[in-house]
Amino acid sequence: MAPAPARRAVLRAAVLAAAAPVIPSLAASRVGAAPRSVVPASAQPFALGNVALREGVFAAKRALMLDHGRGYDVDRLLQVFRANAGLSTRGAVAPGGWEGLDGEANGNLRGHYTGHFLTMLSQAYGSTGEKAYADRISSMVGALTEVRTALRRDPEVLSVPGKFGTAAENVRGSHQYVDLPSGVLGGATDVTLSAWVKPAHEADWTRILDCGNDASRYLYLAARNADGVPRFAITSNGPGDEQGINGTTPLALHEWSHVAVTIEGATGTLYVNGTAVAANTAMTLDPSALGPLKNNWLGRSNYAADPVFAGAFDEVNFWSRALTAAEIAGLEDARAAGSPAGAGDLASYAFDETDGGSFADSSGRGRPATLRRTWGGPSHPGFLAAYPETQFITLESMTKGDYTVVWAPYYTAHKILRGVLDAYLHTDDARALDLASGMCDWMYARLSGLPRTTLQRMWGIFSSGEFGGIVEAICDLYAITGKAEHLALARLFDLDKLIDACAAGDDTLDGLHANQHIPIFTGLLRLYDETGERRYLTAAKNFWGMVVPTRMYGIGGTSTGEFWKAPGVIAGTLGDTTAETCCAYNLLKLSRALFLHEQDPVYMDYYERALYNQVLGSKQDKADAEKPLVTYFIGLLPGHVRDYTPKSGTTCCEGTGMESATKYQDSVYFRKADGSALYVNLYSPSTLTWSQKGITVTQTTDYPREQGTTLTVRGSAAFDLRLRIPAWAGSGFAVTVNGKKVRADPVPGSYFSVSRTWRDGDTVRVSVPFRLRVEKTLDKPEVQALFYGPVHLVARDSRTSYLRFGLYRNAALSGDLLPTLTPVAGKPLHYTLDGTGLAPFFEGTEDPTHAYFQRAEPKVVLGTIDSGVTNPAGPDGMTLLDEIWSAAPFGDKGALVKHVQATADSWVAAGRLSAPDGKKVVSTAKEASYVR
């Protein structure tokens, strides 16, 4: 039973604000449910609808995605689902790329993108309340419900207008064909085979008809051979001995064509549209020579790898004689029964049926035909996908990955499951919950019967065994249904080798596919919620530390070519295929989930980094009706240009990119489970409605273009306001309440707490001064990234070698390197350095960028004055200037000069600097003037 609406609102806050752990009151609302979460999280999120984005960089990016979600034709997304079920696709064309039958690896990931789109729409509706999104969700859920029903029954005729009356269409991707009864050829020696066909796809070797036992004894009439033209062939000894007749021109797509073949004695003749186009006068075989044939099909080949015919059939006839040319010409204008030839005397199918799954034979021989699927009988209860169950079945016997055979069916199942579950949570559509529950019932029935060794092998297979965040989604469903089978299902995905290694602190990530494994750990945290099994939490925490920061790029992303390398190798892995965007999406989810259990600000520091840089920067700053315009990889080599339409669209990263852009606000605020504190994790223009407290909190800021924020409270309530002090923050972080400074010692990388009973109109001002700083790569300290506060600044330059920058020449007494840069008037966060433009990474342009540069400080320059002294380096690579400025901030010029003197003396004493050069450095420090 679904929770009552009031309880469901709690669920939305706990589960669907990007998959948060379930809170105790949810479990209490279930009828006959399992016990409430064993380990409820100590912090909780707010529902998307409780946090309204206000004008700023996030709202601007989101608006682009909202427009895309509002306008895209969802029938295109549903095309592959309807086709798989043999339903009308309503003339829609699948999106392409990975989402279609012609994409990479035979379209073996189709269906995943539809799940992402449903989640995006659900989040859009949850955030805005706009009815257009709810309507689209309802339409998609209704269509998927029809699809599941169709998959559960034998295929039924899809009646379409025919050449004469009606015809039967086999939609491409439906795997449907017509099974003719045995003996349909009647042992004839002379024969005529005739069919009206309307091809919908130009795949080679699609059969109009094929009668045979296997790939050695058969006859067929193909719509296209390898040259794209019709072909008839007969053989009793395999393809090498085929006796064939080839047409001369291809059949037109989406138009009716009449194809016939006659065999009379040694002559076989092929007719197209009433005209003889080719003949073979040396034939020695006829149907009688083949003997009884078990496979008699329309649209299917005896060669398993050949495609199934896509298109429509009308007027298929078999005669036990060779029709004359005049008789065949007469079939052009009338049904066979009304032509001089008469209906086929071996079999005759008019395809006048408008329902059911069989076709009447009007030959008088009582040989009805049956519509079937190549993959067998109806699917098992609950199954929902855009391809047959065979993808899942085949995986169970695989020992190594091959995505051209099986490409991550459980990953795709996760996206669909997440999409319909999100649809339910945001719109209360019971059909969506039924779809989600049915999918998990089906998975449990399938997986619970497999040996654990089989499961471990499956989940360890690269790509084919990838299952994404399915465990998290199943646990969220369990929080609603309380079905023990659903929790048991979630545990069937345990990959023990990985979990045990991470729980023990053993880093085994080198060589692993990054995004195959990151979402596993968010699922483990949800299992920890529901089971209390400590190894799940420990494994997730340790795993996070193995990635951040030792495998993390400055923008917050990870992976190179989708894989991890050894820890600490950052500069050595930079390339054009670094930082897969899905990885950042999933690391954000994991960081968020970890924070909800343990309020360690390190998780929110990472969240800010990845959200304000890679995730924001992965969305192009322009509208597009057809594409979401988000990145797959973000190349970090010099001069890389971001690709916002990767792999022809509809990739995993475009899917998660759509989701990211409609939940930017999901981690701005959290609350303590007991309501005693409010965490402000991100400084983002927004309004929080905290209904349990009866208050709203509005942030007014242009952060990160503004160095701080103002929070205004409406209503009255007592709680601690906990304001995150970023780890990068230096001196100057300050908080005032109603204009009065709050006395405390801010510690970077912690929370600043203000405890009081808040009154209507209270105003909190938070100052977060930015500094320009560098982050050195762990393996090559001279390769660095540039940051101003939370913002990664990139150089815009078309050169493809590292730019060499020096930054100490005008450093401030505070240690801030910003005075070395020249601001660009009217463009916040834009600067120039040595004539090169610098801009925020989050701007989604197509400019060539340099995320990393090579640090070069060849001369000792202080306060813009060049001492003329070469900047020496010690054995550890640290230069004289590095050591001087490592002691910043300096209270005044005198303190700086004193430190320069001491440093120069120590370098002279160590033999790294000559005494005269030491004096030049000190005199330069005294002569120069410095900004604060």
Taking phi over 0 as left and psi of -120 to 50 as alpha, with beta for the rest, 108 belongs to: alpha
| Adjacent-strand bridge partners of 46 | none
Residue 323 has pLDDT above 50, yes or no: yes
What pLDDT, in 10s, does the model give residues 331-367?
Answer: 999 999 999 999 999 999 999 999 999 999 999 999 9
Cβ atoms 664, 681 nearer than 8 A: no
pLDDT higher than threshold 50 for residue 579? yes
Indicate whether 622 pLDDT > 50.
yes
Asked if 589 contacts 599 with a C-beta cutoff of 8 angstroms, the reply is no
Task: Please determine, for residue 26, whether its predicted confidence score (pLDDT) is greater than 60.
Answer: no
Please state, rounded to an integer, the average pLDDT across all residues of the chain: 95
pLDDT of residue 28 exceeding 90, the answer is: no
pLDDT at 103: 87
The pLDDT tens digits for 43-83 are: 999 999 999 999 999 999 999 999 999 999 999 999 999 99
Q: What is the mean pLDDT of residues 816-826?
A: 97
Confidence band of 30 (pLDDT split at 50, 70, 90): very low
Q: Are 357 and 190 in contact (CB under 8 A)?
A: no
Check pLDDT > 80 for residue 465. yes
Is the pLDDT score of 34 beyond 90? no
Residue 698 has pLDDT above 60, yes or no: yes
* pTM for this prediction: 0.95
pLDDT tens, residue by residue, 869-893 = 999 999 888 999 999 999 999 999 9
Residue 377: per-residue pLDDT: 86
The pLDDT of residue 876 is: 87
**Once rounded to an integer, what is the mean pLDDT over residues 587-601?**
98
Q: Average pLDDT of 310-333?
A: 98
Q: Which residue has the higher pLDDT, 25 or 168?
A: 168
pLDDT digits (tens, 9 = 90+) for 499-551: 999 999 999 999 999 999 999 999 999 999 999 999 999 999 999 999 999 99
Report the candidate in 447, 319, 427, 438 with the shortest Cα–Cα distance to residue 383.
438
Coil, strand, or helix at residue 454? helix
CA distance 206 to 229: 11
- Stretch 782-801: mean pLDDT: 98
Q: Which residue has 């797959």 as its token pair?
A: 632
Instruction: Tell whether the model's pLDDT for residue 903 goes beyond 90.
Output: yes
For residue 36, what pLDDT band results from cuts at 50, 70 and 90? low
Mean pLDDT of 865-871: 97
**To the nearest whole percent, how much of the chain has pLDDT over 90?**
94
Which domains does the chain show, CATH number per domain?
5-147+381-660 (1.50.10), 159-373 (2.60.120.200), 669-703+708-767 (2.60.40.1180), 857-932 (no CATH)
pLDDT at 16 over 80: no
pLDDT at 13 (0 to 100):
47
Residue 33, pLDDT > 60, answer no
Give the bridge partners for 721, in sequence order: 678, 754
Average pLDDT of span 245-249: 98
For the stretch 379-403, pLDDT in tens is 999 999 999 999 999 999 999 999 9
Extract the tokens encoding 649. 């669209």
Q: Percentage of residues in the chain with pLDDT exceeding 70?
A: 96
How do 717-725 and 677-680 pair as beta strands? parallel
User: Is residue 600 predicted with pLDDT exceeding 60?
Assistant: yes
Is residue 576 within 8 Å of 635, Cβ to Cβ?
yes
Distance CA 675, CA 624 (A): 42
Q: Please tell me the predicted confidence (pLDDT) of residue 24.
A: 33
pLDDT at 595: 98
pLDDT for position 439: 98
Instruction: State how far the alpha carbon of 448 is from the alpha carbons of 452, 491, 525, 526, in Å.
Output: 9, 10, 22, 20
Res. 22: pLDDT tops 80: no
**Residue 745 confidence (pLDDT):** 93
Per-residue model confidence (pLDDT) at position 648:
84
Q: Is the pLDDT of residue 1 over 80?
A: no
CA distance 665 to 479: 24
